[in-house]
Structure 1
Amino acid sequence: MSHDFTQAIIEWQAGAPNAQEKFQLVIYDHLRQLASKQKQKMAKKHGEHNLEDNINATTALVHEVFIKIQQGSTEYLSNRRDFALLVSKSVHNILVDHARKSASQKRDADITNIDSKNSLIDESHDPDNKLLDLSAAIEAMEVSFPRQAQTMQLKYFGGLLVKEIADLLNISVSSAEKDIAFAKSWLKMRLS
């Protein structure tokens, strides 16, 4: 996969015949594999009976990422690492955009709702707000700990395994594991 990926990028940037189509096929295949991994995780976590909505959401996300990548600038892509980072950031940005939109709609709808204590309804348990908080924390982490932030984006938004992350970042598997453990702890502290 890594060689096909890098070769497709090189041929596409060199302007080889049919390179654009091959590049798009490689991208889409990679995104479908990520979606498949995500579906398996969802099935384990939520059970098969709740999978239909997650499948539709995952497929929509794959299509949205594919469109975003096609519309964006991919001139700086030179290898699989650059692409994996682009996909991770695209997934992250799409999820955050959806969360912002959803939170905004809820805020507009709930502005007049008052609970029995005459205060606005607590949205602290809202998944959209949690995702927005996580996004802000990852952005803050990028300033001081860029590699650890990259490992988190690749793992959770890119769907990569620790071994794949280590290969992409040219670090050992144990370093990738330590980066993920550090990032989880840092984020947990930041978000608590």
Structure 2
Amino acid sequence: MTEITTLLRAAGSGDPRAAEQVVEMLYADLQRLARSRLRRSGELTLLDTTSLVHESYLRMHHGGDLDFADRKHFLAYAARVMHTVVIDLVRARQADRRGGEAMHVTLNTAVADTTPQSDDELLRVHEALQELATVDARLAQVVEMRYFGGLSEAEIADCLGVTERTVQRDWQKARLFLAAALK
């Protein structure tokens, strides 16, 4: 058992110092996830990498349930929290302006490989992802880990307990579903 796994288990048992140590040890990985997430959202957020990492940490810390099996599960959860932070920020901005000068852009079938260009588009992708989760939760997890978390197929396969080929097939299915949902 690695030191991080031991600390994650201690954090899951309620040790606040262990949770802080995990974040300190994985800070570079969290920065990488945040950089990947912000690069995908372009100029849609006012957050920088550090702000996104810190806001995500606060949400994870206040969420309470920090019981993770290992480093990869923690990073997958962190990617999901970062996604939520960005979506919440976009929704707050949308609530302020209610669509005023928002540009409407239609996505093509390469939805998973492109960057959403507007708040509306980012929200449409999020809603399509939620719809996908109701149809097949694993497909939604693959999208979140790959697209929002920047994890490799091997890391996703290890985290979900499936083969890399299964992750590849799930990625293809998810892309097709999202493309159809966003038309």
TM-score by length of 1: 0.73
Q: Of the candidates 121, 129, 147, which is equivalent to residue 138 of structure 1?
A: 129
Is 1:69 the counterpart of 2:49? The answer is no
- Greater RCO, CA 8 A, separation 6+: 2
Deviation of 1:36 (Å): 5.0
* Structure 2 letter corresponding to 1:33: R
* Structure 1 letter corresponding to 2:157: A
Q: What's the Cα RMSD here? A: 3.2
TM-score by length of 2: 0.77
Deviation of 1:191 (Å): 0.4
Q: Return the alpha-carbon distance in structure 2 between the equivalents of residues 190 and 61 of structure 1.
A: 28
State whether residues 80 and 168 of structure 1, in contact with CA within 8 Å, keep that contact through their aligned partners in structure 2: no
1:164 is matched with which residue?
A: 155
Q: Return the alpha-carbon distance in structure 1 between the equivalents of residues 119 and 125 of structure 2.
A: 10
- Report the secondary structure of 1:141's partner residue: helix
Is 1:175 the counterpart of 2:174? The answer is no
State whether residues 65 and 91 of structure 1, in contact with CA within 8 Å, keep that contact through their aligned partners in structure 2: yes
Moved more, 55-64 or 164-173: 55-64
State whether residues 80 and 148 of structure 2, in contact with CA within 8 Å, keep that contact through their aligned partners in structure 1: yes
Structure 1 unmatched ranges of 5 or more = 111-120
Q: Which has the larger radius of gyration?
A: 1
State whether residues 45 and 89 of structure 2, in contact with CA within 8 Å, keep that contact through their aligned partners in structure 1: no
Moved more, 65-74 or 140-149: 65-74
- In 2 relative to 1, CA 186–169 (structure 1 residues): closer, same or farther, beyond 3 Å? same
The residue correspondences of 1:33-182 to structure 2 (distance < 5 A) are 33-35=32-34, 57-107=48-98, 110=100, 123-125=103-105, 127-182=118-173
Q: Return the alpha-carbon distance in structure 2 between the equivalents of residues 37 and 92 of structure 1.
A: 11
Deviation of 1:123 (Å): 3.7
1:190 is matched with which residue?
A: 181
- In 2 relative to 1, CA 55–29 (structure 1 residues): closer, same or farther, beyond 3 Å? farther
* Structure 2 letter corresponding to 1:62: V
Corresponding residue pairs, total: 171
- Report the secondary structure of 1:160's partner residue: coil
Q: Return the alpha-carbon distance in structure 2 between the equivalents of residues 13 and 106 of structure 1.
A: 40
